[in-house]
């Protein structure tokens, strides 16, 4: 795992009371308060593969489309369930939609529909191999993500980095302004995930579905950056 710490320090040292507050008899503005933020960044390998299979059907009436989609989905489920294994390859249905197709006169000329099946897990070979065996649906999308455990581990590490960076920066700035130290006033912690470099590619393979029969689809996971930001204010003393 490759780690990096990014620090963003900013803001403002508030010294003295606001003239407006003094004139209006209000409370004095905070004095000697420093606002700053720091971020910890952990780069980690994506360990979750999500493959979406889809079937699109068309017929003169909605019932026929629905029947065709159900047959395609049932066949795909039967194949996928044989290979399913908790966390390694979980199987779930995706979107199932029907919509009318209109002619030039604006009237309904037929119906179209789409059904999806999602294969998700950590066993890339099992998932891609199963996707290649499904004949009733084609691969419409391949994406990568972090598992819950991998994300939690990265967030914990990034959070520790951000807190230590915040404390170090607060101490450095306090001394730079001529103070001996600081006390924490308030703090907020936020996390997010970024994908450096190219995003996971979307693959439309319906026309080439036959070439992938009984063969794993080639995939390669990238890396994600989990970023935790600690921001707040300190009282210089």
- Listed by start position, the domains of the chain span 2-45+150-193+228-236, 48-145
| Partner residues linked to 102 by β-bridges | 108
Token pair, residue 51, equals 């493959």
| Partner residues linked to 41 by β-bridges | 4, 227
Residue 148 sits at φ, ψ, to 5 deg, of -60, -40
**For all residues of the chain together, what is the average pLDDT?**
84
Contact of 71 with 87, CB cutoff 8 Å: no
**What pLDDT, in 10s, does the model give residues 75-103?**
999 999 999 999 999 999 999 999 999 98
Contact of 233 with 167, CB cutoff 8 Å: no
Cα–chain center distance at 160: 21
Residue 108 sits at φ, ψ, to 5 deg, of -70, 120
Q: How confident is the model at residue 195 (pLDDT cuts 50, 70, 90)?
A: low
In CATH, the architecture of 48-145 is 2-Layer Sandwich (3.30)
Q: Read off the pTM.
A: 0.71
pLDDT of the residue at 202: 42
Q: Whole-angstrom distance between the N-terminal and C-terminal Cα of the chain?
A: 39
Round to whole Å and give the CA distance between 72 and 141. Answer: 17
Token pair, residue 114, equals 């789409």
Round to whole Å and give the CA distance between 116 and 13. Answer: 55
């Amino acid at each position: 795992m490759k780690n990096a710490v990014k620090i963003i320090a900013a803001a403002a040292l508030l010294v003295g009371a606001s003239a407006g507050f003094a004139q209006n008899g209000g409370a004095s503005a905070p004095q000697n308060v420093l606002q700053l933020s720091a971020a910890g960044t952990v780069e980690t390998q994506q360990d979750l593969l999500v493959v979406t299979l889809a079937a699109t059907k068309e017929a003169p009436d909605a019932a026929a489309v629905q029947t065709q989609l159900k047959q395609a989905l049932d066949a795909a489920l039967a194949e996928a369930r044989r290979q399913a294994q908790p966390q390694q390859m979980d199987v779930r249905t995706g979107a199932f939609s029907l919509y009318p197709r209109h002619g030039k006169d604006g009237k309904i000329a037929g119906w179209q529909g789409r059904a999806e099946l999602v294969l998700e897990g950590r066993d890339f070979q099992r998932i891609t191999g199963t996707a290649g065996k499904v004949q009733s649906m084609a691969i419409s999308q391949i994406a990568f993500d972090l598992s819950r455990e991998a994300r939690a581990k990265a967030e914990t590490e990034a959070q520790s980095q951000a807190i230590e960076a915040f404390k170090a920066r607060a101490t450095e700035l306090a001394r730079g302004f001529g103070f001996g130290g600081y006390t924490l006033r308030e703090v907020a912690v936020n996390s997010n995930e970024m994908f450096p470099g190219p995003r996971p590619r979307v693959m439309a393979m319906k026309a080439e579905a036959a070439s992938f029969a009984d063969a794993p689809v080639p995939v390669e996971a990238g890396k994600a950056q989990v970023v935790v930001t600690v921001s707040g204010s300190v009282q210089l003393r």
